[in-house]
């Protein structure tokens, strides 16, 4: 590759600036891609896909393709993969896709899927469980119940993986993911694996200041000893409560907006008479107004337009700027609503 790009004479610089070179760029990209796969693919244990539609990997069931998508066989396999792909490649991790809106044009980089792929879970100490990022909160709660280790019943129904829950400090009913974290294992863009403590992060309501180019791949949860049967009944009741209040019959991404200080997004949305409001195939749920549902073959553009409309109406009616809880994956990367 280096030999192909380097020329001995300076006239090559003129060639680089010519139209001929730019029409040749797709060929260069092809050579780079083949260079990676030819030298490294035999060592990969996971599955590498190209132009893979992302809609099936999200709970809204919308969105365009990823240029590359990788399904790692293990954390070690993921580490190797990250170390051999070009350092310029934009990388995004996706768990259950339950908190992500993928734009219709897709993503121009590499998506790493963890859901049910990074799935090791084990008891590592008397009250501690080691769990990898692709396990769901509900699976972890049930595993803990088998060991008489309790405490996750209030967040067990959140439809996401451990990796996603850590990244946004997912929570429900006054309980949050990081309440139980003893330590985390992260991986960086170079494939290096690092162990960190909660004290390494600034943790807030639905937010964690994760360093750019680092992703959670595993965690040790510190749980409370308890009675298995009592705990399982608490999980059952919590799941029933969520099912009765949430529009689980339609594709959705859970709560779309964070609650503003001292108030509730759902109350504000209801007060502005937005229940059932529709743009294209997406509508504000009539069952829980902080949910936007894909009930008529929505596009990502429909959903994003509806999110923007709700934000504008609440700003106008109540003088409050609602912040998105969901993240948006554009062609260039992830957009997180920090309120700027």
The residues assigned a catalytic role are: 206, 255, 325
Longest dimension (CA), the chain: 77
Cβ partners under 8 Å of residue 111, min gap 6: 52, 54, 57, 66, 68, 69, 70, 91, 92, 93, 94
CB neighbour list of residue 222: distance below 8 Å, 6 or more residues apart: 127, 128, 180, 181, 182
Contacts of 182 (CB under 8 A, 6+ apart): 128, 198, 219, 220, 221, 222
Question: Residues 269-278: contacts with CB within 8 Å, 24+ apart?
Answer: 269/310, 269/314, 271/317, 271/318, 272/313, 272/314, 272/317, 272/318, 274/310, 274/313, 277/306, 277/309, 277/310, 278/306
**Both structure tokens of 213:** 């180019």
Q: Of 92, 56, 61, 52, which is closest to residue 302 (Cα–Cα)?
A: 61
Q: Evaluate whether 280 touches 302 at the Cβ level (below 8 Å).
A: yes
To which H or E segment does residue 75 belong? helix 75-84
Strand order in the sheet with 278-279: 278-279, 282-284, 292-294
Least Cα distance to 85 among 99, 69, 73, 63 occurs for 69
Residue 269 CB neighbour total at 10 angstroms: 26
């Amino acid at each position: 590759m280096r030999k192909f790009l380097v020329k001995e004479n300076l006239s090559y610089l003129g060639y680089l600036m010519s139209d001929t070179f730019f029409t040749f760029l797709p060929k260069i990209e092809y050579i780079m891609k083949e260079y990676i796969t030819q030298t490294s693919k035999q060592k990969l244990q996971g599955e590498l896909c190209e132009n893979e539609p992302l809609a099936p990997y999200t709970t809204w069931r919308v969105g365009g393709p990823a240029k590359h998508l990788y399904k790692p066989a293990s954390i070690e396999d993921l580490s190797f993969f990250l170390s051999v792909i070009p350092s310029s490649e934009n990388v995004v991790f996706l768990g259950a896709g339950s908190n992500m809106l993928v734009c219709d044009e897709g993503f121009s980089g590499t998506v790493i899927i963890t859901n049910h792929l990074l799935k090791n879970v084990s008891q590592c100490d008397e009250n501690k469980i080691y769990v990898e990022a692709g396990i769901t909160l509900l699976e972890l709660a049930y595993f803990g119940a088998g060991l008489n280790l309790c405490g996750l019943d209030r967040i067990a129904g959140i439809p996401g993986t451990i990796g996603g829950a850590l990244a946004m400090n997912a929570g429900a009913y006054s309980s949050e993911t990081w309440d139980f974290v003893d330590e985390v294992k992260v991986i960086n863009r170079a494939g290096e694996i690092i162990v960190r403590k909660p004290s390494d992060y600034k943790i807030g309501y639905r937010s964690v200041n994760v360093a750019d180019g680092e992703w959670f791949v595993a965690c040790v949860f510190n749980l409370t000893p308890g009675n298995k049967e009592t705990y399982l009944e608490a999980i059952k009741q919590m799941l029933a409560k969520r099912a009765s209040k949430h529009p689980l019959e339609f594709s959705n991404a859970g709560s779309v907006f964070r609650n503003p200080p001292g108030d509730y997004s759902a109350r504000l949305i209801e007060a502005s008479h937005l229940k059932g409001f529709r743009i294209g195939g997406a509508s504000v749920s009539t069952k829980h107004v902080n949910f936007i549902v894909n009930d008529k073959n929505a596009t990502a553009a429909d959903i994003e337009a509806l999110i923007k409309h709700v934000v504008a109406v609440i700003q106008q009616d109540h003088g409050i700027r609602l912040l998105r809880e969901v993240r948006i994956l554009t062609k260039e990367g992830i957009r997180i609503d920090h309120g700027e």
